[in-house]
A and B are shown apart, each in its own frame.
Chain A
Amino acid sequence: MVVPGLWCGVRLHATPVSMSLYLTELVLSHFRSHKRVQLGVDARPVVLFGANGAGKTNILEAVSMLSPGRGLRRSSAEEMTRRPEALGWKLRGGLVSLGQGHEVETWSENGAARQVRIDGKTASQVALGRIARVLWLVPAMDRLWIEAADGRRRFLDRMVLSFDPGHAEAALAYDKAMRERNRLIRDEVRDPAWYAALEAQMAEAGHRMHTGRVRALALVQEAQDQAETAFPAARLTLVQTEGAMPETEPDLRDALADSRARDMAAGRALVGPHRTDLQGVYAAKDVHAKDCSTGEQKALLVSLILANARALADRIGAPPLLLLDEVSAHLDMQRRAALYDEVCALGAQAWMTGTGAELFGELRDRARGFEVTDSGGASAVMERDLG
């Protein structure tokens, strides 16, 4: 289901309190290293510091589970359950979204798929996406620009999803129809009508995916162009592994039909949005992101996350929750300070982690600080002043 209102809606101007999105409370029960942790926070950014393995990223992962999908580690519900007990886990978040308070609960029992409840009522993950928009940057993404295309595609689709919660449905429908068609190919079925029926589904969902991506990139690009920021702008383009992406639904359907013989030889579909890659260029230097230094690559990612957040603030009236894991790694002191200033100016509740409190000194009372420690096999969390 696409929400057209989102794309063409009135532009809302960010004002601090009513137009914001933040957690007021987060409770983790038997989630990874946390037995039971309750964090009370406010609209300000949240800093989590402590030794490696203390359980900081686990808290960020918990926040990411308040949005649709498998969270920032892409783990199964079963992997998140605290061991050795393995009883299942539960998360509860008090969330303020555009001036309205919500209670979001998500949990998994006996390794089953997770369930969601919003304000006491069973809800879908799409519904979750409408109230809690979350973007993240984790150390595993440091190599995003140089590794395989699927990591960039996931990054891209997270951006699209942040603007359009219906994007996940299009992607799921496309994937399902494609897997059906790949199976026909492998089983060497020769019924043209069956192929055509699946290609019609792929074209419908695939075209929605593609237009969603194009629009999201345009919005992020516009947000980059308009911003005064210490971070380098990236020029983003969608490229296909081979050939070009058909621009209309009928074109995509025809391309799939034309590709049948080749697909049979390859054993899978060779055209479509599953073969789209995101190409980034460091605009000021006109250098491909993959050829930039490690620090520059990271700065580009930070820049994109911030631009995405600004674009969202502009479209829906509130910036998303930001999860910035080990964000200060690869950023020098000036960039770090600039990041904190920009996050605060944006009014985003950014959840940031690092090994020591000194990395966040510049934030002082603009953020809430918590120290995470390992205390006898379970993570403990204590509030601390930041410098």
Chain B
Amino acid sequence: MSSTRDIDALIEMMAKLPGLGPRSARRAVLHLIRKRALLLTPLADLMQTVAVTARECRRCGNVGTADICDFCTSEKRATGEICVVEDVADLWAMERAGAFKGRYHVLGGTLSALDAVGPEDLRIPQLLDRVMDENVSEVILALNATVDGQTTAHYIADQLEGRVRLTSLAQGVPIGGELDYLDDGTISAALRARKDV
């Protein structure tokens, strides 16, 4: 049995993180061990806490530590606008850009028959409920310009047609360019120039 078994296991886990490979995982672990008091112990504590407290907002699907997230409880955010995104990473990208002042709805994916993801596997029924309940005036479809993203946008637009103003981010978002990868200026511009669908 190897005397570095736990460390090897940690490296293996770290290498599964997005953006890290085996090489960078080894470097990160070595760094953590060297900065035990400054980094490793506090990180371990925080991970333990978040493992217990992290949850999805019951209303919008955002990730936080409360049942209902801050966006959904904040009165300032009750502008009547809901921005629909595929993923929490997209919500965070929109927030980084700082151009949107309303509330969000995270679908948790896109429609894809090939991947066996249907409307009920996404938060689409919940979105329809929110539009009825929350005095919503505009739904902004901020979905990626992929085939699945646009199919999903089209599907939602079809369900909401006539009930609320529907807009989508302006083109200029590159084809297949995912929101999370766009710079803040591009997102703000696409939001300002949004158009009715």
Binding site for B on A (CB under 8 A): 1, 169, 173, 176-177, 179-181, 183-184, 187, 189, 191, 193-194, 196-198, 200-201, 205
Contact = CB atoms under 8 A, between A and B. Distances in A.
B158 interface: yes
A106 B162 CA distance: 51
Contact of B151 (A1, A169, A180, A183): A180
A179 B114 contact: yes
B126 interface: no
Chain B binding surface, main DSSP class: helix
Interface in B112-129: 112-114, 118-119
A196 B147 contact: no
Interface in B21-80: none
Nearest to A185: B113
Contacts of B159: 193
23 contacts: A1-B174, A1-B175, A177-B147, A177-B151, A179-B114, A180-B147, A183-B113, A183-B114, A191-B119, A193-B155, A193-B159, A194-B111, A194-B113, A194-B119, A194-B155, A197-B151, A197-B152, A197-B154, A198-B151, A200-B150, A200-B151, A200-B154, A201-B154
Given A177-B147, A177-B151, A180-B112, 8 more contacts: A180-B113, A180-B151, A181-B113, A189-B113, A189-B118, A191-B118, A194-B113, A194-B118
B159 to A, nearest CB: 6
Interface in B67-100: none
Contacts of A169: 175
B114 A180 contact: yes
Interface of B: 111-114, 118-119, 147-148, 150-152, 154-155, 158-159, 174-175
Contacts of A179: 114
A189 B120 CA distance: 13
Contact of B113 (A1, A173, A184, A193): A184
Contacts of A180: 112-114, 147-148, 151
Contacts of A205: 147
A154 B152 CA distance: 30
Contacts of B119: 191, 194
Contacts of B150: 200-201
Given A173-B147, A180-B151, A197 B158 contact: yes
B147 A201 contact: yes
B107 to A, nearest CB: 14
Residue of A180, A184, A189 with most chain B CB atoms under a 10 A cut-off: A180
Nearest to A204: B150
Residue of A181, A183, A198 with most chain B CB atoms under a 10 A cut-off: A198
Nearest to B150: A201
Contacts of A197: 111, 151-152, 154-155, 158
B154 A187 contact: no
Nearest to B111: A194
Contacts of B152: 197
Nearest to B112: A180
Contacts of A191: 118-119
A196 B148 CA distance: 13
A184 B116 CA distance: 10
B157 to A, nearest CB: 8
A191 B113 CA distance: 12
Contacts of A176: 147-148
Residue of A169, A189, A200 with most chain B CB atoms under a 10 A cut-off: A200
B113 A196 contact: no
A183 B147 CA distance: 15
A103 B136 CA distance: 54
A1 B177 CA distance: 12
Contacts of B114: 179-180, 183
Given A169-B175, A196-B154, A187 B147 contact: no
Contacts of A177: 147, 151
Contacts of B151: 177, 180, 194, 197-198, 200-201
Contacts of A189: 113, 118
Contacts of A184: 113
A177 B174 CA distance: 19
A210 B111 CA distance: 26
User: Which 10 A-B pairs give the minimum distances between C-beta atoms?
Assistant: A197-B154, A183-B113, A197-B155, A193-B158, A197-B151, A176-B147, A184-B113, A180-B113, A200-B154, A177-B147
